Structure 1
Amino acid sequence: MKSINKLFLVLLTGILFSCENQLDINTDPNSPTEITPGLALSAAQASLITVTGGDFSNLGGFYAQYHTQAPTAGQYETIDQYNMDTSYANRTWTELYAGCINDLEFVITESNKTGDTGGVLIGTALKAYTFQLLVDVFGDVPYTEALQGVNNITPKTTEGSVIYLDLIAKIDAALASYKANPVTTSIGKQDNIYESDMDQWVKFANTLKLKMYLRMAYTSLANPTKVNTLLAENDFLESDAKFSNFGTGLNQRNPFYEVQMIFLGDVNNVASNSLFEFYNINEDPRLESVFRANSAGAYLSISQGSGDTFNNLASNYSRPNIKADTPVYLLTVAESNFLQAEALIRYGGGAGAKAKYEEGVKTSFETYGLSRALATPFLATGGVYEYISGSGIEATVRQVIIQKWASLAYINNMEAYIETTRTKFPEIVTKASANYALGNRIPSEISVLSGNTVPSILYYPDNETERNPNIKQHLNLTQKVWWDKK
């Protein structure tokens, strides 16, 4: 199946980068009778990782301030300016709706027909992951009226909070059905994430639920009871959820690598001071896992958005350390531990949070290919990452989120940006007052927004708003999604 799955990746990477697919979100690509749930799942996973590991990895890297626009290049200057137009998301929206979600709907429907409770759980969990991502970056999106084909070609949007609650309910139902009748799915190794290891998919579903509940932390829907129930069950991720079925040939490679490094020549993305100096000042060895040395073998970065002020080649600076076969991650064990740590601080009186925080840092080192033992001195008494309790919920949570931010670089850049939006950590401060050792971001030096304001949402794609009168465009990029209340 590897050759088939790589073919999907070839097609999807080409679609995402080279053209604006004109499919409507209600188009059903699953009518051919030869499509099986396994093939549809492979296609859905390829669509999802092409977006999260491609366009969204690039965008999230700018917004989380992992990288910035290189001097003497300008491909992504509008992103660094916070000045994107309404055409930015045309490809990603289409790929997630017409590609990923439609295929997952097929997986769920066909698995239900055959009583394949395992297939239903996999499809449901990934569908929830994808819809959550859409809500987190676009706000209200078509949901209850979506996927109806010709019966409704102009679906209305559903409130993000309603979508969240319904997604959790569907995950719960799929988990209950599987546990009541644990059918081993026939999808097998066509599942490129866990090869249909259902124990891992149950853990993925529980971790996703915890993430969704914590998105609600600053809203009236915050639910300590549900969170504490999940914590008591303690059935969370033990293996990174990643797509690693990449090759070294043309269009078989990691999507960020394929576009940024091969097609565009590795000239745009250079290390931002915000993350680079956090690692550098703290002597964190993850620096050399996240970034490459420059052409002279040195590690250098620039201030966010400062590339317009001087001339120099990208090769004079550190750049993302993405290789052809670098996996694309959906959820990691490190992120799971940080989620548990935050939940224990917010809803459990802090008991056990220190252990989860420290395990999060150690497993982050492992995800970057480093020994977990290297993290120990950082976490010891007096270490720069020592866990300090008793300073209030937000101050304690801040420690967790800073380490989550440091652990998501080129693992899941968009998730890092979403979490900075939710928690406001790392804080955005003026360049003159930035303390990079503690974790700070600054307004991009070429920002078109005032003060310390940064984008908190994406525009709906214009190829959707122009055809669907029920989707009203956001007024600006500073509107907030439903859970953004802090």
Structure 2
Amino acid sequence: MKKFFLSIFAVSALVTSCASEDDIYNDDSLKAYEASGEYFFANAQKELVDQLTTPSVNLNVFRYFSQYWAATTYRAESRYDLTTRNIPDNHWDNLYAEALGNFKKAKENILSESKPALMSEIEWNKIQQNRVAIIEVLMVYTYQVLVDSFGDVPYSQSLDIVNTPLPKYDDDAAIYPQLITRLNAAIAQMDTGYGSITPNQDLVYAGDVSKWKLFANSLKVKIAINMADVNNSLAKSSIEQAYAAGVIESNTNNALLTYNTFAPNYNLIHEELVQSNRNDFVPASVFVDKLNSLSDPRRPIYFTPLNGTTNTFVGGNYGYQNLLPYNDSYSHIGDKIKEPNLPGVLIDAAEINFILAEAAERGYSVGSAATHYESAVKASLTFWGINNTDATAYYNQSSVNYGTATGTWKEKIGNQAWIAMYNRGFESWTFFRRLDFPGIVAPASAYPIAEGEIPVRLTYPSTEPNINGANYQSASSAIGGDKLTTKVFWDIN
């Protein structure tokens, strides 16, 4: 049996038996068994989290977009050259083929399974409904990442290789409401009184349906807040409904995939920076200096102290080579960040509380903006191991406290979300595009393709103009040009 992934425009993952002209070779009695749907589900979960977690500049450059890290030698990606290594191609391929393709196959195989003999029809149907609903929720999550990365993307035809090998691109503004509809249906389908995915095949919540419902409602909040400036009525109703039903507001409910301490399933940051012994990154000074100005207690977790000190943190110059003696001139990526079993995060309490603070400021009935903001800041601190006393002391600084920090609500939330999302580059980039804070700017060394701006989308994969040309041209025209500066539909400020 061989698993293979089709080209990036076909975006389907299938399992097939090997084929040969030899009759014995093709004898069904010798054919490998089809893998279980739950196997594909676990694989898809890991592929999705890996893509959002990896620091490989071949796959994920969002830590650069948020100016968390600076390059030491190879600075092309920090200057927004995304085509040399085909970064958009790899991001697109991993999300469509490796994540969505496997989720699709998981659903198909699960639905084809037979009821165990000793299980009642009612229980079996409920378990099946829960399993399919959980898969649906993670497919919605993946599609949102694709839309937020590229704008218009294949959606309605994206996973039908037989009938539409060259899928059309759907309007990004039209996809978002459909994702809300799919989430509502999946949430309604979940029954916490029954089981779902086998615990060891659900790498995030071990089959806990109640936690998946919290996740689904939290995802609805994530999607809806992006629509606030373009479809306020749907955003408001969706967020209020999700909040009333229950969302992730404490770290105990965070959606985490915990990696192993051994190869090949350790955290990809560990793989890139420790196992591969790469010295390609140092923390960026723009970020380090911000945390220094706040005496932020996350500094010794996010970064290492400068050699020979205990509380001095120095970053590198973003967008440039940082070639001073590597060991002694800069702080480095923190040891905890590089641990092999550091969890990858899909949604956490800090993120959702920051969004709820924003929703409250927009007039939605979700409680107090100040309360959610405080909860968000403290959730990030305690997630990283800061004790409650020190977390409270940090929050009570006049430069952090919601009542006394300078700036608009967008600035207050944007700046603290930037700090909290340090190891979640993609989500940080989303906060930045929606709130326009923190006030980071493109480096003077940026490539002309960036037009002097931090990218607000990825360009389409380089293969699309040649392979799916007509649909590519239509989409490129519809969004206003396939450029790094073309905004996705919700980014109107």
What is the aligned partner in structure 1 of residue 62 from structure 2?
A: 60
- Partner letter of residue 144 of structure 1? S
Instruction: Go from structure 1 to structure 2 and tell me whether the alpha carbon gap of 1:417 and 1:262 turns closer, same or farther (over 3 Å shift).
Output: same
* 2:151 counterpart (123, 139, 144): 139
What is the aligned partner in structure 2 of residue 406 from structure 1?
A: 419
Instruction: Go from structure 1 to structure 2 and tell me whether the alpha carbon gap of 1:304 and 1:21 turns closer, same or farther (over 3 Å shift).
Output: farther
Task: Please say if 1:283 is aligned against 2:295.
Answer: yes
Q: C-alpha deviations, 1:140-195, integer Å up to 9, x for none?
A: 1111011112221100111112211111111110111224x853114322100010
Cα distance in 2 between the residues matched to 1:343 and 1:234: 15
Q: Secondary structure at the match of 2:50?
A: helix
What is the aligned partner in structure 2 of residue 246 from structure 1?
A: 260
Q: Secondary structure at the match of 2:346?
A: strand
Preserved contact between residue 388 and residue 396 of structure 1 (Cα < 8 Å): no
Cα distance in 1 between the residues matched to 2:365 and 2:411: 16
* 1:426 counterpart (418, 438, 441): 438
Displacement of 1:102 after TM fit? Answer: 1.3
Larger Rg: 2
What is the aligned partner in structure 2 of residue 383 from structure 1?
A: 398
What is the aligned partner in structure 2 of residue 303 from structure 1?
A: 317
Task: Please say if 1:127 is aligned against 2:139.
Answer: yes
What is the aligned partner in structure 2 of residue 348 from structure 1?
A: 364
What is the number of residues matched between the two proteins? 445
Displacement of 1:315 after TM fit? Answer: 5.6
What is the aligned partner in structure 2 of residue 432 from structure 1?
A: none
The equivalences for 1:97-176 within 5 A come to 97-112=96-111, 115=125, 116-176=128-188
Cα distance in 2 between the residues matched to 1:423 and 1:62: 18
Preserved contact between residue 215 and residue 255 of structure 2 (Cα < 8 Å): yes
Preserved contact between residue 30 and residue 102 of structure 1 (Cα < 8 Å): no
What is the aligned partner in structure 2 of residue 437 from structure 1?
A: none
The equivalences for 1:27-106 within 5 A come to 27-30=12-15, 34-54=34-54, 55=56, 58-70=60-72, 73-74=73-74, 77-85=75-83, 87-106=86-105
Instruction: Go from structure 1 to structure 2 and tell me whether the alpha carbon gap of 1:315 and 1:126 turns closer, same or farther (over 3 Å shift).
Output: farther
The equivalences for 1:389-468 within 5 A come to 395-410=408-423, 412-427=424-439, 441-449=440-448, 453-468=453-468
Instruction: Go from structure 1 to structure 2 and tell me whether the alpha carbon gap of 1:112 and 1:236 turns closer, same or farther (over 3 Å shift).
Output: farther
Cα distance in 1 between the residues matched to 2:152 and 2:388: 40
Instruction: Go from structure 1 to structure 2 and tell me whether the alpha carbon gap of 1:350 and 1:274 turns closer, same or farther (over 3 Å shift).
Output: farther
The equivalences for 1:168-247 within 5 A come to 168-179=180-191, 182-221=193-232, 223=234, 224-238=236-250, 239-247=253-261
Decide which moves more: 195-204 or 296-305.
Answer: 296-305
Cα distance in 2 between the residues matched to 1:94 and 1:314: 36
Instruction: Go from structure 1 to structure 2 and tell me whether the alpha carbon gap of 1:235 and 1:475 turns closer, same or farther (over 3 Å shift).
Output: closer
Displacement of 1:274 after TM fit? Answer: 1.9
Q: Which runs of 5+ in 1 are unaligned?
A: 1-10, 428-440
Relative contact order, higher structure (CA 8 A, sep 6+): 1
Preserved contact between residue 295 and residue 315 of structure 1 (Cα < 8 Å): yes
Q: Which runs of 5+ in 2 are unaligned?
A: 18-32, 113-123
Displacement of 1:452 after TM fit? Answer: 5.4
Decide which moves more: 464-473 or 185-194.
Answer: 464-473
Query: How high is the sequence identity, in percent, across the aligned residues?
Result: 24
Displacement of 1:389 after TM fit? Answer: 8.0
Cα distance in 2 between the residues matched to 1:350 and 1:169: 21
- Partner letter of residue 224 of structure 2? Y
Displacement of 1:296 after TM fit? Answer: 3.8
Instruction: Go from structure 1 to structure 2 and tell me whether the alpha carbon gap of 1:187 and 1:315 turns closer, same or farther (over 3 Å shift).
Output: farther
Displacement of 1:261 after TM fit? Answer: 3.7
Displacement of 1:377 after TM fit? Answer: 1.7
Preserved contact between residue 117 and residue 183 of structure 1 (Cα < 8 Å): no
Preserved contact between residue 111 and residue 117 of structure 1 (Cα < 8 Å): no
Displacement of 1:229 after TM fit? Answer: 2.6
Quote the RMSD (CA, aligned, Å).
2.8
What is the aligned partner in structure 1 of residue 482 from structure 2?
A: 475
Cα distance in 1 between the residues matched to 2:280 and 2:101: 33
Instruction: Go from structure 1 to structure 2 and tell me whether the alpha carbon gap of 1:64 and 1:480 turns closer, same or farther (over 3 Å shift).
Output: same
Scaled by the length of structure 2, the TM-score of the pair is: 0.83
Displacement of 1:65 after TM fit? Answer: 0.9
Q: C-alpha deviations, 1:428-462, integer Å up to 9, x for none?
A: xxxxxxxxxxxxx2322411357852111111112
Cα distance in 2 between the residues matched to 1:212 and 1:192: 23
Displacement of 1:256 after TM fit? Answer: 2.2
Preserved contact between residue 23 and residue 98 of structure 1 (Cα < 8 Å): yes
- Partner letter of residue 402 of structure 1? N
- Partner letter of residue 302 of structure 1? G
Displacement of 1:49 after TM fit? Answer: 1.4
Displacement of 1:396 after TM fit? Answer: 1.6
Cα distance in 2 between the residues matched to 1:350 and 1:241: 21
Preserved contact between residue 291 and residue 319 of structure 1 (Cα < 8 Å): yes
Displacement of 1:383 after TM fit? Answer: 2.9
Instruction: Go from structure 1 to structure 2 and tell me whether the alpha carbon gap of 1:389 and 1:233 turns closer, same or farther (over 3 Å shift).
Output: farther
Cα distance in 2 between the residues matched to 1:36 and 1:315: 51
Preserved contact between residue 139 and residue 480 of structure 1 (Cα < 8 Å): yes
Instruction: Go from structure 1 to structure 2 and tell me whether the alpha carbon gap of 1:111 and 1:103 turns closer, same or farther (over 3 Å shift).
Output: same
